[in-house]
Amino acid sequence: MTQTTKPKIIVSGIQPTGGLHLGNYIGAIRNYVTLQDEGRCFYFLADLHAITQPHVPAELHAQTREMAAALIACGVDPDKAVLFNQARVPAHAELCWLLNGTARMGWLNRMTQWKDKAGKNSEGQSVGLFTYPVLQSADVLLYQATHVPVGEDQKQHIELIRDIANKFHHDFAPDVFTVPEPLIPAIGARIMSLRDGKAKMSKSDPSDMSRINLSDSVDDIASKIKKAKTDPEPLPSDLAGLEGRAEARNLVGIYAALAGTSEADVLRDFGGQGFGSFKPALADLVVSIFAPITARFKELCADTDMLDAILVRGASRAREAAGPTLARTYEALGLVK
Ligand code: TYM
């Protein structure tokens, strides 16, 4: 008997606000690029997610376009992958509403991202921030995704997507959705802040020194790495020696992820050396990868018509792909016959 393997459908998104940083690149975007040759890919700018927190309407459209330019500069090819923004594909908001009947308050209440973002003021947050993972579920389930490339911080959201799909199948009709798997890189799944090895590198960190942005100059990158928080000890020669040294571990992890090697190999090369020699080597490596991407990003940003045309075309392909699943969901819920 011949075995047929289901073709991979890969879906992932990034919020357009705040620009792309090294954590996004290592944790997710590099994977987007590799996966383009392994299946049908849908990559989108999560502009509908961006409105769940305070934002500047006059800037959102330009930020969405810029994030599209950033993804293309990193190697996302709009001829291979379907690249679009959520707002141009109403099926995302529609399916989100349909799934709101299945998602449970208790599940959403347990989301660590909700707890982190809401802090002590959950009463003052938008309802959208609370139901954010339901929209994320719609994003993925609409396209029958088999795989979702993300950084470690999104793992819990992908588990929730699986729970929602399974409950929907149990309550209404089987096999409406594909239950997806997360794809999380072995190295670099959680890049930490350059100022605090216990906090994630994030666009919402008020200190720009905490992250390396795609828009940073070569000098900015060198200076941020030079000033990155470390400890006075030299680098150890093996992994055990990184225990309790979160900042050192983070820099070694970044080096390993970008050099395509393991942390153990990095320590074999740099063990015994101080940060005075390791940091310039790391800065050179980051610059060697980011500088060409940044140059391409700037060129692309200048051509707004071309970027808009790519997003319009991507949205039309996405609408077509999303249609059948949306229709089956309406039917399964008894809303249409
Ligand atoms: P966002 O915009 O915060 O981040 C985009 C991607 O970058 C990864 N990432 C990191 N990886 C490693 N280290 C870090 N410090 C780091 N910071 C961010 C994230 O894990 C993510 O993969 N909710 C999502 C966007 C989204 C989505 C989706 C993702 C909306 N719908 C459907 C997948 C599928 C978010 O805010 O990612």
Question: Is 30 domain-assigned?
Answer: yes
What spacing in Å lies between the alpha carbon of 100 and ligand 1's midpoint? 22
For every residue of 16-80, DSSP letters joined together read -TT--BHHHIIIIIHHHHHHTTTEEEEEEE-HHHHTTS---HHHHHHHHHHHHHHHHHHT--TTT
C-alpha span between 217 and 294 (Å, rounded)? 8
Residues 120 and 100 placed together within one structural domain of the fold? yes
Atom of ligand 1 nearest to the CA of 11: 34
Range of the domain at 150: 3-190+304-332
Whether residue 202 is contained in a domain is answered as no
Looking at the fold, whether 311 and 239 belong to one and the same domain comes out as no
Residue 64 lies in a domain: yes
* Number of structural domains the chain divides into: 2
4 — pLDDT class (breaks 50, 70, 90): low
Q: What is the pLDDT of residues 313-337, one digit of tens each?
A: 999 999 999 999 999 999 999 999 8
Same domain, 140 and 282: no
Question: 239: CA distance to ligand 1 center in Å?
Answer: 27
> In the prediction, which pLDDT does 1 show?
43
Among the options 8, 80, 203, 279, which is catalytic? 203
Q: Per the domain annotation, does 323 fall within a domain?
A: yes
pLDDT tens track for 144-160: 999 999 999 999 999 99
Atom 36, ligand 1: residue with shortest CA distance? 15
| Residue 197 covered by a domain | no
For the domain that residue 147 is a member of, what is the CATH number?
Answer: 3.40.50.620
Dihedral angle of Cα 137, 141, 142, 143, to the nearest 10 degrees? 130
Contact of 220 with 228, CB cutoff 8 Å: no
CB burial of residue 125 (10 Å; 0-12, 13-18, 19+): middle
- For the stretch 250-264, pLDDT in tens is 999 999 999 999 999
Pair 102, 137 in one domain: yes
Structure confidence at residue 95 as a pLDDT band (50, 70, 90): very high
CA angle 115, 119, 121 (to 5 degrees): 115
Give the CATH number for residue 273.
1.10.240.10
Average confidence score pLDDT of the chain: 97
Question: What is the model's pLDDT at position 88?
Answer: 98
From the list 117, 155, 229, 279, the catalytic residue is 117
Residue 115, pLDDT > 50, answer yes
pLDDT confidence band for 5 (50 / 70 / 90): confident
- Residues with Cβ within 6 A of ligand 1? 12-15, 23-24, 26-28, 46, 49, 136, 139-140, 148, 150-151, 153-154, 189-191, 200-202
Taking a C-beta distance cutoff of 8 angstroms, is the pair 176, 137 a contact? no
Q: What residues contact 21, with CB distance under 8 A and at least 6 apart? A: 201, 202, 203, 211, 212, 213, 214
pLDDT at 6: 77
